[in-house]
């Protein structure tokens, strides 16, 4: 969900060999984006590649309104990868707060260490080097290369996949997991021009976030409604596997969150008894704590003490 308002295009050569079949979609969507794009801090030039990377880690499965305050605090404390790398990984977990999925904090810390050690503290522009960083997958590497460096890559998040599923494929929702067919379609839809491709990646993502949403889509505001295959077909209902919303209350995720909250607020090691008080069911509590230890989010110490990791 990120992109500089005016990305520094031209750092990557245009490798397209054929004219993009999605050209009728490009101008309307990009023109809409130029008018309606949200003013987000990671889209501003001063955010730089590190700001874009931080936002991409935080925005995974987390809405913008929850990310904004944590992002601002994070960049104020750690304006460069080396600043984060110099801290204990537990400090990244502490600063992550209640964003959820805290392993992302450890992965971002690991990426910062690797950037500092391998690339002199600068987020690499090369896609392969980005992909080689710990905690960086296919999506994040493409997003950083595109949004921070204006390169030509297919950037496929949930919002983009939904836009393509409806506008081009004619179905209400994409598959639960990204498929090879979706990747081929995304590459086929990429504009030839590098700068236009980077803008298209950001614009199509914003369209999915604001207009072509999962529920209550606003077709009357969509710049490509007249071309949308799903709309033209009468909006047929989803025929794939049932789409189940994620639950939280009573799950191990909730227990893990409560245990981590105790450790984040502590200034030193915490005894087992302090952790026992946050959840009534001992088997589930022990399972959640064991999972946190296995994930490297909690470090057990002698004497039944626990703390956020120092190494």
**Confidence at 123, pLDDT banded by 50, 70, 90:** very high
First to last CA, the chain: 31
Q: What is the model's pLDDT at position 206?
A: 98
Distances (CA, A) of 53 to 20, 57, 132: 28, 6, 14
Average pLDDT of the chain, as a whole number: 92
* Residue 162: predicted pLDDT: 97
Instruction: Count CB neighbours of 267 within 10 A.
Output: 6
- 48: domain CATH number is 1.10.340.30
Could you give the CA distance from residue 148 to residue 37 in angstroms, rounded to a whole number? 16
Q: Which of 91, 117, 149 is the last residue of a domain?
A: 149
Q: Are residues 289 and 222 in the same domain?
A: no
How many domains does the chain divide into?
Answer: 3
Determine the structural domain holding residue 114 and report its residue range: 38-149
Catalytic positions: 56
pTM, whole model, 2 decimals? Answer: 0.87
Taking only the tens place, the pLDDT of each residue in 109-120 is 999 999 999 999
Q: What is the pLDDT of residue 191?
A: 96
Query: Mean per-residue pLDDT for 49-58?
Result: 98
* pLDDT for the residue 49: 98
Q: CB atoms < 10 A from the CB of 51, how many? A: 23
The pLDDT tens digits of the residues spanning 74-101 come to 999 999 999 999 999 999 999 999 898 9
Give bridge partners of residue 300 from the DSSP assignment. Answer: 306
Would 66 be classed as within a structural domain?
yes
Instruction: Say if residue 4's pLDDT is above 90.
Output: no
What tens digit of pLDDT does each residue of 223-280 get? 999 999 999 999 999 887 777 666 778 899 999 999 999 999 998 999 999 999 999 9
77 and 165 part of one domain: no
In a domain, 206, yes or no: yes
């Amino acid at each position: 969900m990120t992109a500089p308002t005016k990305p520094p295009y031209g750092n990557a050569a245009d490798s397209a060999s054929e004219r993009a079949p999605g050209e009728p979609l490009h101008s309307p969507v990009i023109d809409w984006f130029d008018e309606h794009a949200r003013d987000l801090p990671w889209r501003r030039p001063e955010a730089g590649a590190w700001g874009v990377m931080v936002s991409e880690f935080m925005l995974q499965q987390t809405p913008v309104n929850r990310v904004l305050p944590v992002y601002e605090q994070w960049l104020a404390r750690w304006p460069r990868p080396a600043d984060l790398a110099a801290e204990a990984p537990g400090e990244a977990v502490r600063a992550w707060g209640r964003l959820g999925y805290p392993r992302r904090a450890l992965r971002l810390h690991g990426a910062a260490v690797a950037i500092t050690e391998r690339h002199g503290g600068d987020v690499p522009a090369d896609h392969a080097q980005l992909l080689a960083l710990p905690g960086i997958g296919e999506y994040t590497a493409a997003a950083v290369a595109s949004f921070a460096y204006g390169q030509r890559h297919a950037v496929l998040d949930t919002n983009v996949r939904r836009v393509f599923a409806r506008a081009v494929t004619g179905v209400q929702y994409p598959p639960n997991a990204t498929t090879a067919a979706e990747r081929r379609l995304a590459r086929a839809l990429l504009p030839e021009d590098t700068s236009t491709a980077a803008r298209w990646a950001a614009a199509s993502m914003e369209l999915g976030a604001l207009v072509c949403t999962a529920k209550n889509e606003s077709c009357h505001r969509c710049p490509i409604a007249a071309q949308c295959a799903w709309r033209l077909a009468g909006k047929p209902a989803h025929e794939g596997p049932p789409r189940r919303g994620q639950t939280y209350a009573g799950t191990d995720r909730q227990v893990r969150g409560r245990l981590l909250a105790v450790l984040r607020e502590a200034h030193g090691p915490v005894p087992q008894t302090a952790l026992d008080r946050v959840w009534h069911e001992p088997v589930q509590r022990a399972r959640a704590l064991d999972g946190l230890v296995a994930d490297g989010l909690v470090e057990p110490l002698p004497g039944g003490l626990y703390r956020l990791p120092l190494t």
